[in-house]
Amino acid sequence: MKLVLVGGFLGSGKTTAIVKACQQLIHQNKKVGVITNDQGSQQVDSEYVKSFGIPAGEVANGCFCCNYDQLDSELQSLREKDQPEIIFAESVGSCTDLIATLVKPLNNTRPDIKIVVSVFADAELLSSLIEGNSSFLEDSVRYLYRKQLEEADFLVLNKTDLLKPKQLGTVDKVLKSAYPNKIILHQNSLRDQDISRWLESMEQFTQYPKRNSLTLDYDVYGEAEGKLAWLDKRITITTANDNCVFVIRKIIGSIFNQIQTHHFTIGHLKFFLAADDWNEKVSFTTTSTSEDVSIRDHRTNSIRVLINARVQTNPMSLEKLVDDVLTKAEGAYQCTIVTENRSSYKPDYPRPTHRMG
Ligand SMILES: Nc1nc2c(ncn2[C@@H]2O[C@H](COP(=O)(O)OP(=O)(O)OP(=O)(O)O)[C@@H](O)[C@H]2O)c(=O)[nH]1
Ligand SMILES: [Mg+2]
Protein backbone atom coordinates (compact mmCIF):
# COMPACT_ATOMS: atom_id res chain seq x y z
CA MET A 1 0.00 0.00 0.00
CA LYS A 2 1.10 3.51 -0.75
CA LEU A 3 0.75 6.36 1.70
CA VAL A 4 0.98 9.84 0.21
CA LEU A 5 1.77 12.37 2.89
CA VAL A 6 0.47 15.64 1.48
CA GLY A 7 2.04 18.63 3.18
CA GLY A 8 2.41 22.31 2.42
CA PHE A 9 1.25 25.65 3.70
CA LEU A 10 -2.35 26.60 4.49
CA GLY A 11 -4.48 27.00 1.39
CA SER A 12 -1.86 25.67 -1.03
CA GLY A 13 -4.41 23.30 -2.61
CA LYS A 14 -3.80 19.98 -0.84
CA THR A 15 -7.44 18.97 -0.31
CA THR A 16 -8.45 20.05 -3.81
CA ALA A 17 -5.77 17.83 -5.36
CA ILE A 18 -6.50 14.89 -3.04
CA VAL A 19 -10.22 14.90 -3.82
CA LYS A 20 -9.62 15.12 -7.57
CA ALA A 21 -7.00 12.38 -7.41
CA CYS A 22 -9.38 10.11 -5.46
CA GLN A 23 -12.16 10.73 -7.96
CA GLN A 24 -9.86 9.70 -10.82
CA LEU A 25 -8.64 6.61 -8.99
CA ILE A 26 -12.16 5.54 -8.00
CA HIS A 27 -13.18 5.94 -11.65
CA GLN A 28 -10.38 3.45 -12.49
CA ASN A 29 -11.86 1.04 -9.91
CA LYS A 30 -9.00 1.61 -7.51
CA LYS A 31 -9.58 1.72 -3.77
CA VAL A 32 -8.54 4.86 -1.96
CA GLY A 33 -8.66 6.43 1.47
CA VAL A 34 -8.06 9.87 2.91
CA ILE A 35 -7.00 10.97 6.39
CA THR A 36 -7.59 14.61 7.17
CA ASN A 37 -5.94 16.46 10.01
CA ASP A 38 -6.48 19.67 11.87
CA GLN A 39 -5.66 21.52 15.07
CA GLY A 40 -9.39 21.58 15.81
CA SER A 41 -12.13 18.97 15.94
CA GLN A 42 -14.56 20.46 13.42
CA GLN A 43 -12.94 20.23 10.05
CA VAL A 44 -14.22 21.71 6.82
CA ASP A 45 -11.87 19.39 4.90
CA SER A 46 -13.29 16.24 6.51
CA GLU A 47 -16.84 17.22 5.63
CA TYR A 48 -15.77 18.18 2.12
CA VAL A 49 -13.95 14.88 1.48
CA LYS A 50 -16.83 12.83 2.92
CA SER A 51 -19.35 14.72 0.76
CA PHE A 52 -17.82 12.92 -2.26
CA GLY A 53 -18.33 9.52 -0.63
CA ILE A 54 -14.56 8.98 -0.35
CA PRO A 55 -13.61 6.66 2.55
CA ALA A 56 -12.09 8.98 5.11
CA GLY A 57 -10.66 9.08 8.59
CA GLU A 58 -9.72 12.06 10.66
CA VAL A 59 -7.04 13.04 13.15
CA ALA A 60 -8.38 15.92 15.20
CA ASN A 61 -7.14 18.32 17.88
CA GLY A 62 -3.53 18.56 16.75
CA CYS A 63 -1.18 17.67 13.94
CA PHE A 64 -0.27 14.11 12.88
CA CYS A 65 3.15 14.45 14.51
CA CYS A 66 1.70 15.18 17.95
CA ASN A 67 -1.05 12.56 17.49
CA TYR A 68 0.99 9.80 15.90
CA ASP A 69 -0.94 6.97 17.55
CA GLN A 70 -4.24 8.36 16.29
CA LEU A 71 -2.83 8.56 12.76
CA ASP A 72 -1.56 5.00 13.04
CA SER A 73 -4.93 3.74 14.21
CA GLU A 74 -6.79 5.64 11.43
CA LEU A 75 -4.43 4.07 8.89
CA GLN A 76 -5.09 0.65 10.33
CA SER A 77 -8.85 1.07 10.41
CA LEU A 78 -9.00 2.34 6.79
CA ARG A 79 -6.88 -0.63 5.71
CA GLU A 80 -9.11 -3.11 7.52
CA LYS A 81 -12.39 -1.58 6.32
CA ASP A 82 -11.60 -0.58 2.74
CA GLN A 83 -8.31 -2.25 1.74
CA PRO A 84 -7.18 0.85 -0.18
CA GLU A 85 -4.23 0.72 -2.58
CA ILE A 86 -3.42 4.28 -1.73
CA ILE A 87 -4.13 6.53 1.24
CA PHE A 88 -3.66 10.29 1.13
CA ALA A 89 -2.91 11.83 4.53
CA GLU A 90 -3.14 15.62 4.51
CA SER A 91 -1.15 17.26 7.28
CA VAL A 92 -2.07 20.57 8.91
CA GLY A 93 -0.95 23.52 6.78
CA SER A 94 1.19 24.95 9.56
CA CYS A 95 2.98 21.64 10.24
CA THR A 96 6.44 20.44 9.25
CA ASP A 97 9.08 17.88 10.28
CA LEU A 98 7.14 15.03 8.66
CA ILE A 99 10.20 12.87 7.97
CA ALA A 100 11.48 12.69 11.54
CA THR A 101 8.07 12.43 13.19
CA LEU A 102 6.04 10.34 10.72
CA VAL A 103 8.01 8.81 7.86
CA LYS A 104 10.82 7.29 9.92
CA PRO A 105 8.61 5.94 12.73
CA LEU A 106 6.18 4.46 10.16
CA ASN A 107 9.05 2.93 8.17
CA ASN A 108 10.09 1.17 11.37
CA THR A 109 6.73 -0.15 12.48
CA ARG A 110 4.95 -0.57 9.13
CA PRO A 111 7.66 -1.39 6.58
CA ASP A 112 5.05 -2.69 4.08
CA ILE A 113 3.74 0.86 3.55
CA LYS A 114 5.48 2.81 0.77
CA ILE A 115 5.54 6.46 1.72
CA VAL A 116 5.71 9.42 -0.66
CA VAL A 117 6.02 12.98 0.64
CA SER A 118 4.29 15.44 -1.66
CA VAL A 119 4.52 19.06 -0.56
CA PHE A 120 2.36 21.74 -2.14
CA ALA A 121 3.35 25.37 -2.63
CA ASP A 122 0.89 28.01 -3.82
CA ALA A 123 2.67 29.55 -6.82
CA GLU A 124 0.97 32.91 -6.32
CA LEU A 125 1.95 33.11 -2.64
CA LEU A 126 5.49 31.96 -3.39
CA SER A 127 5.79 34.58 -6.11
CA SER A 128 4.69 37.34 -3.73
CA LEU A 129 7.08 36.04 -1.05
CA ILE A 130 9.93 36.19 -3.60
CA GLU A 131 8.88 39.67 -4.75
CA GLY A 132 8.75 40.77 -1.10
CA ASN A 133 5.13 41.91 -1.15
CA SER A 134 3.44 39.14 0.80
CA SER A 135 1.83 39.99 4.09
CA PHE A 136 3.45 36.82 5.50
CA LEU A 137 6.84 38.44 5.90
CA GLU A 138 7.69 37.35 9.43
CA ASP A 139 10.94 35.44 9.59
CA SER A 140 9.41 32.57 11.56
CA VAL A 141 6.62 31.98 9.02
CA ARG A 142 9.10 32.10 6.12
CA TYR A 143 11.29 29.66 8.02
CA LEU A 144 8.37 27.24 8.45
CA TYR A 145 7.46 27.62 4.78
CA ARG A 146 11.03 26.82 3.66
CA LYS A 147 11.25 23.84 5.98
CA GLN A 148 8.01 22.41 4.59
CA LEU A 149 9.40 22.54 1.04
CA GLU A 150 12.71 21.03 2.12
CA GLU A 151 11.02 17.74 3.03
CA ALA A 152 9.35 17.09 -0.32
CA ASP A 153 10.02 14.07 -2.53
CA PHE A 154 7.62 15.85 -4.89
CA LEU A 155 7.42 19.57 -4.69
CA VAL A 156 4.13 20.53 -6.32
CA LEU A 157 4.18 24.12 -7.47
CA ASN A 158 0.41 24.49 -7.50
CA LYS A 159 -1.96 27.13 -8.89
CA THR A 160 0.41 27.86 -11.78
CA ASP A 161 -2.68 29.06 -13.67
CA LEU A 162 -2.65 32.19 -11.49
CA LEU A 163 0.81 33.38 -12.56
CA LYS A 164 1.98 35.16 -15.68
CA PRO A 165 4.65 33.20 -17.62
CA LYS A 166 7.39 35.60 -16.50
CA GLN A 167 6.45 35.27 -12.80
CA LEU A 168 6.27 31.50 -13.18
CA GLY A 169 9.75 31.50 -14.73
CA THR A 170 11.14 33.43 -11.76
CA VAL A 171 9.50 31.16 -9.19
CA ASP A 172 10.71 28.07 -11.04
CA LYS A 173 14.28 29.40 -11.17
CA VAL A 174 14.28 30.17 -7.43
CA LEU A 175 12.90 26.72 -6.57
CA LYS A 176 15.35 24.89 -8.83
CA SER A 177 18.31 26.69 -7.37
CA ALA A 178 17.12 26.23 -3.77
CA TYR A 179 16.17 22.56 -4.24
CA PRO A 180 18.31 21.26 -7.13
CA ASN A 181 17.67 17.56 -6.40
CA LYS A 182 13.92 17.66 -6.03
CA ILE A 183 11.24 16.59 -8.46
CA ILE A 184 9.28 19.80 -9.07
CA LEU A 185 5.87 19.53 -10.72
CA HIS A 186 4.04 22.54 -12.10
CA GLN A 187 0.39 21.96 -11.45
CA ASN A 188 -3.06 23.43 -11.80
CA SER A 189 -5.02 21.16 -9.50
CA LEU A 190 -8.29 22.26 -11.06
CA ARG A 191 -7.23 20.46 -14.28
CA ASP A 192 -7.75 16.71 -14.56
CA GLN A 193 -4.66 16.22 -16.78
CA ASP A 194 -2.41 17.79 -14.14
CA ILE A 195 -3.83 15.56 -11.42
CA SER A 196 -3.26 12.49 -13.64
CA ARG A 197 0.35 13.58 -14.12
CA TRP A 198 0.81 14.00 -10.36
CA LEU A 199 -0.57 10.49 -9.79
CA GLU A 200 1.57 9.02 -12.59
CA SER A 201 4.70 10.64 -11.18
CA MET A 202 4.00 9.15 -7.78
CA GLU A 203 3.24 5.76 -9.36
CA GLN A 204 6.62 5.82 -11.08
CA PHE A 205 8.37 6.82 -7.88
CA THR A 206 9.79 3.51 -6.75
CA GLN A 207 13.28 4.44 -5.62
CA TYR A 208 12.43 5.36 -2.08
CA PRO A 209 15.25 7.60 -0.96
CA LYS A 210 17.01 7.47 2.37
CA ARG A 211 15.52 10.65 3.73
CA ASN A 212 17.22 12.98 6.12
CA SER A 213 15.32 14.44 9.04
CA LEU A 214 15.11 18.20 9.03
CA THR A 215 17.41 20.28 11.13
CA LEU A 216 14.66 22.27 12.76
CA ASP A 217 14.55 24.93 15.44
CA TYR A 218 11.34 24.03 17.30
CA ASP A 219 11.18 27.43 18.99
CA VAL A 220 11.02 29.23 15.65
CA TYR A 221 8.60 26.60 14.31
CA GLY A 222 6.38 27.04 17.39
CA GLU A 223 6.57 30.81 17.05
CA ALA A 224 5.39 30.58 13.40
CA GLU A 225 2.45 28.33 14.34
CA GLY A 226 1.54 30.71 17.16
CA LYS A 227 1.18 33.65 14.76
CA LEU A 228 -2.21 32.42 13.65
CA ALA A 229 -5.51 32.41 15.49
CA TRP A 230 -7.79 29.45 14.73
CA LEU A 231 -11.54 29.72 14.92
CA ASP A 232 -13.93 26.83 14.32
CA LYS A 233 -17.58 27.70 14.46
CA ARG A 234 -20.65 25.75 13.47
CA ILE A 235 -23.85 27.72 12.92
CA THR A 236 -27.31 27.16 11.52
CA ILE A 237 -29.04 29.94 9.61
CA THR A 238 -32.80 29.96 9.21
CA THR A 239 -34.86 32.32 7.05
CA ALA A 240 -38.53 32.50 6.20
CA ASN A 241 -38.24 32.94 2.45
CA ASP A 242 -35.84 30.29 1.18
CA ASN A 243 -32.98 32.76 0.74
CA CYS A 244 -30.32 31.22 3.00
CA VAL A 245 -27.78 31.03 0.19
CA PHE A 246 -28.16 34.76 -0.45
CA VAL A 247 -27.69 35.44 3.28
CA ILE A 248 -24.61 33.23 3.67
CA ARG A 249 -23.06 34.80 0.56
CA LYS A 250 -23.44 38.21 2.23
CA ILE A 251 -22.06 36.91 5.55
CA ILE A 252 -19.03 35.30 3.92
CA GLY A 253 -18.31 38.49 1.97
CA SER A 254 -18.58 40.61 5.14
CA ILE A 255 -16.27 38.35 7.15
CA PHE A 256 -13.67 38.56 4.38
CA ASN A 257 -14.07 42.35 4.10
CA GLN A 258 -13.78 42.84 7.86
CA ILE A 259 -10.57 40.79 7.93
CA GLN A 260 -9.20 42.94 5.11
CA THR A 261 -10.27 46.16 6.86
CA HIS A 262 -8.39 45.10 9.99
CA HIS A 263 -5.33 44.18 7.85
CA PHE A 264 -5.27 40.68 9.32
CA THR A 265 -3.42 38.23 7.06
CA ILE A 266 -5.46 35.20 6.08
CA GLY A 267 -3.80 31.79 6.30
CA HIS A 268 -6.99 30.07 5.15
CA LEU A 269 -10.60 31.10 5.67
CA LYS A 270 -12.88 28.29 4.65
CA PHE A 271 -16.56 27.48 4.93
CA PHE A 272 -18.53 24.29 4.38
CA LEU A 273 -22.19 24.96 3.59
CA ALA A 274 -24.76 22.18 3.71
CA ALA A 275 -28.50 21.95 3.20
CA ASP A 276 -30.59 18.94 2.21
CA ASP A 277 -28.55 17.19 -0.49
CA TRP A 278 -26.70 20.37 -1.49
CA ASN A 279 -23.26 21.44 -0.26
CA GLU A 280 -20.44 23.83 -1.13
CA LYS A 281 -16.94 24.62 0.10
CA VAL A 282 -15.84 28.25 -0.04
CA SER A 283 -12.21 29.32 0.46
CA PHE A 284 -10.17 32.48 0.82
CA THR A 285 -6.41 32.19 1.02
CA THR A 286 -3.54 34.58 1.71
CA THR A 287 -3.61 35.97 -1.82
CA SER A 288 -7.39 36.43 -2.12
CA THR A 289 -8.28 40.01 -2.97
CA SER A 290 -12.02 39.93 -3.57
CA GLU A 291 -15.03 38.95 -1.53
CA ASP A 292 -16.64 37.56 -4.69
CA VAL A 293 -17.02 33.83 -4.46
CA SER A 294 -19.09 31.56 -6.59
CA ILE A 295 -21.71 29.64 -4.65
CA ARG A 296 -24.21 27.58 -6.60
CA ASP A 297 -27.74 28.79 -6.12
CA HIS A 298 -30.09 26.74 -4.00
CA ARG A 299 -33.44 27.64 -2.45
CA THR A 300 -33.56 26.68 1.20
CA ASN A 301 -34.78 28.15 4.47
CA SER A 302 -32.15 26.43 6.60
CA ILE A 303 -28.44 26.02 6.06
CA ARG A 304 -25.68 24.53 8.22
CA VAL A 305 -22.36 26.33 8.05
CA LEU A 306 -18.97 25.26 9.37
CA ILE A 307 -16.39 28.04 9.54
CA ASN A 308 -12.65 27.31 9.83
CA ALA A 309 -10.71 30.57 10.03
CA ARG A 310 -6.90 30.58 10.30
CA VAL A 311 -6.00 34.24 10.48
CA GLN A 312 -3.02 36.20 11.75
CA THR A 313 -4.45 37.87 14.86
CA ASN A 314 -5.48 36.75 18.35
CA PRO A 315 -8.35 34.30 18.88
CA MET A 316 -10.57 36.78 20.76
CA SER A 317 -10.39 39.43 18.04
CA LEU A 318 -11.11 36.87 15.36
CA GLU A 319 -14.13 35.50 17.19
CA LYS A 320 -15.48 38.98 17.88
CA LEU A 321 -15.07 39.97 14.25
CA VAL A 322 -17.08 36.96 13.09
CA ASP A 323 -19.74 37.38 15.82
CA ASP A 324 -20.24 41.05 14.92
CA VAL A 325 -20.84 40.12 11.29
CA LEU A 326 -23.38 37.46 12.34
CA THR A 327 -25.24 39.83 14.67
CA LYS A 328 -25.49 42.47 11.95
CA ALA A 329 -26.68 39.88 9.43
CA GLU A 330 -29.53 38.80 11.73
CA GLY A 331 -30.80 42.39 11.76
CA ALA A 332 -30.21 43.09 8.08
CA TYR A 333 -31.65 39.91 6.57
CA GLN A 334 -34.34 38.89 9.12
CA CYS A 335 -32.73 35.54 9.71
CA THR A 336 -32.01 33.50 12.83
CA ILE A 337 -28.45 32.36 13.44
CA VAL A 338 -27.81 29.72 16.08
CA THR A 339 -24.28 28.80 17.12
CA GLU A 340 -24.10 25.02 17.54
CA ASN A 341 -20.45 24.80 18.47
CA ARG A 342 -17.39 27.02 18.66
CA SER A 343 -13.75 27.05 19.66
CA SER A 344 -11.00 29.59 19.14
CA TYR A 345 -7.39 29.09 20.07
CA LYS A 346 -3.75 29.21 19.08
CA PRO A 347 -2.00 25.91 18.34
CA ASP A 348 0.06 24.49 21.21
CA TYR A 349 3.85 24.33 21.03
CA PRO A 350 4.59 21.31 18.77
CA ARG A 351 5.52 18.24 20.83
CA PRO A 352 5.75 15.24 18.51
CA THR A 353 5.03 11.74 19.84
CA HIS A 354 8.22 10.46 18.17
CA ARG A 355 11.14 12.31 16.66
CA MET A 356 13.82 10.31 14.91
CA GLY A 357 16.66 12.64 14.06
N1 LIG B 1 -6.63 28.71 -9.38
C2 LIG B 1 -6.37 27.61 -8.65
N3 LIG B 1 -6.97 27.46 -7.46
C4 LIG B 1 -6.68 26.35 -6.75
C5 LIG B 1 -5.79 25.35 -7.22
N6 LIG B 1 -5.69 24.39 -6.28
C7 LIG B 1 -6.51 24.76 -5.27
N8 LIG B 1 -7.10 25.94 -5.54
C9 LIG B 1 -8.00 26.71 -4.68
O10 LIG B 1 -7.27 27.09 -3.50
C11 LIG B 1 -8.15 27.15 -2.38
C12 LIG B 1 -7.58 26.33 -1.23
O13 LIG B 1 -7.54 24.99 -1.62
P14 LIG B 1 -7.51 23.79 -0.56
O15 LIG B 1 -7.40 22.54 -1.38
O16 LIG B 1 -8.61 23.90 0.39
O17 LIG B 1 -6.12 24.09 0.18
P18 LIG B 1 -5.46 23.27 1.38
O19 LIG B 1 -3.99 23.23 1.11
O20 LIG B 1 -6.10 21.95 1.52
O21 LIG B 1 -5.76 24.20 2.62
P22 LIG B 1 -5.62 23.83 4.20
O23 LIG B 1 -6.16 22.47 4.41
O24 LIG B 1 -6.41 24.85 4.93
O25 LIG B 1 -4.17 23.95 4.52
C26 LIG B 1 -9.50 26.65 -2.88
O27 LIG B 1 -10.30 27.78 -3.20
C28 LIG B 1 -9.16 25.89 -4.16
O29 LIG B 1 -10.22 25.87 -5.11
C30 LIG B 1 -5.16 25.56 -8.50
O31 LIG B 1 -4.33 24.81 -8.96
N32 LIG B 1 -5.49 26.71 -9.16
MG1 LIG C 1 -6.99 21.14 3.20
Q: What is the CATH number of the domain that holds 48?
A: 3.40.50.300
How many angstroms separate the alpha carbon of residue 11 from the centre of ligand 2? 7
Q: What is the pLDDT of residue 136?
A: 72
Give the pLDDT confidence score for residue 222 in this predicted structure: 96
- Average pLDDT in the 333-338 region? 97
Same domain for 262 and 190:
no
Is 263 in the same domain as 144?
Answer: no
In a domain, 350, yes or no: no
In this prediction, residue 251 carries a pLDDT of: 98
Assigned domain for 354 exists: no
Domain co-membership, 171 together with 237? no
**Å from CA of 346 to ligand 1 middle:** 22
Residue 210: predicted pLDDT: 80
Which of 126-135, 150-159, 333-342 has the weakest average pLDDT?
Answer: 126-135
Let me know whether 43 and 171 are in one domain. yes
Which of 206, 224, 242 is the endpoint of a domain? 224
Q: Residue 39: is its pLDDT beyond 80? A: yes
pLDDT digits (tens, 9 = 90+) for 65-97: 999 999 999 999 999 999 999 999 999 999 999
Domain boundary (177, 207, 224) is at 224
Residue 191 lies in a domain: yes
- Residue 106's pLDDT band (boundaries 50, 70, 90)? very high
The residue to mutate among 95, 164, 189, 280, having the most atoms of ligand 1 within 8 angstroms of its beta carbon, is 189
| Domain presence at residue 355 | no
- Sorting pLDDT into bands at 50, 70 and 90, what band is 178? very high
Q: What is the CATH number of the domain that holds 233?
A: 3.30.70.360
Domain housing 259? 228-345
Residues 142, 197: one domain?
Answer: yes
106 shares its domain with 197: yes
Residue 111 sits in the same domain as residue 13: yes
Residues 236, 203 within the same domain: no
Same domain (yes/no): 203, 256: no
- Domain membership of residue 264 (yes or no) is yes
pLDDT exceeds cutoff 80 at 318: yes
- Which H, E and C letters describe the chain, residue by residue? CEEEEEEECCCCCHHHHHHHHHHHHHHCCCCEEEEEECCCCCCHHHHHHHCCCCCEEEECCCCCHHHHHHHHHHHHHHHHHHCCCEEEEECCCCCCCHHHHHHHHHHHHCCCCEEEEEEEEEHHHHHHHHHCCCCCCCHHHHHHHHHHHHCCCEEEEECHHHCCHHHHHHHHHHHHHHCCCCEEEEECCCCHHHHHHHHHHHHCCCCCCCCCCCCCCHHHHHHHHCCCEEEEEEEEEECCCCEHHHHHHHHHHHHHHHHHHCCCEEEEEEEEEEECCEEEEEEEECCCCCCCCCCCCCCECEEEEEEEEEEECCHHHHHHHHHHHHHHHHHHHCCEEEEEEEEEECCCCCCCCCCCC
What residues sit around ligand 2, an ion, with C-beta below 5 angstroms?
14-15, 45
What's the gap in Å between 90 CA and the centre of ligand 1?
13
Ligand 1 atom nearest 9 alpha carbon: 25
Across 219-233, average pLDDT? 96
Q: Is the domain of 114 the same as that of 12?
A: yes
276 lies in a domain?
yes
In a domain, 352, yes or no: no
pLDDT of residue 135: 75
The answer on pLDDT for 325 being more than 80 is: yes
Whether residue 263 sits in one domain with residue 183? no
pLDDT for residue 282 is more than 90: yes
In a domain, 356, yes or no: no
- The structural domain count of the chain equals 2
Is the confidence at residue 104, as pLDDT, over 90? yes
Mean pLDDT of the chain: 96
Query: In the listed set 193, 224, 255, which residue is the last one of a domain according to the structure?
Result: 224
Which of these ranges, 50-64, 107-121, 206-220, 325-339, has the smallest mean pLDDT?
A: 206-220
* Same-domain check for residues 167 and 282: no
